[in-house]
Amino acid sequence: MYNFGKVLNINKEPDISTAYINARIATNENIKMVYVPKHKKGKNIIDSKLLIPIMVNEFGKSEAKFFTLVAIGKLANIFAKQLNKGKEMTFFCKDETIIIGWIWGSDSQTTINEEIIDWDHNDGKGLGIASGEGFRPEDWNKPGTQDNIIWRQMMHHRNQRVFSEQDLENGFFGFANISKPGGKIIY
- Its domain, for residue 169, covers 7-107+163-185
100 within some domain: yes
- The answer to whether residue 139 sits within a structural domain is no
CATH number at residue 174: 2.40.50.140
| Residue 93, burial from CB neighbour count under 10 angstroms (0-12, 13-18, 19+) | buried
Question: Per residue in 37-83, pLDDT tens?
Answer: 999 999 999 999 999 999 998 777 888 999 999 999 999 999 999 99
Q: Are 47 and 37 in contact (CB under 8 A)?
A: no
Check if the beta carbon of residue 91 is closer than 8 Å to that of residue 67: no
Each residue of 1-44: pLDDT tens digit?
343 444 555 455 567 788 899 999 999 999 999 999 999 999 99
Say if 121 falls within a structural domain. Answer: no
For the chain, what is the domain count? 1
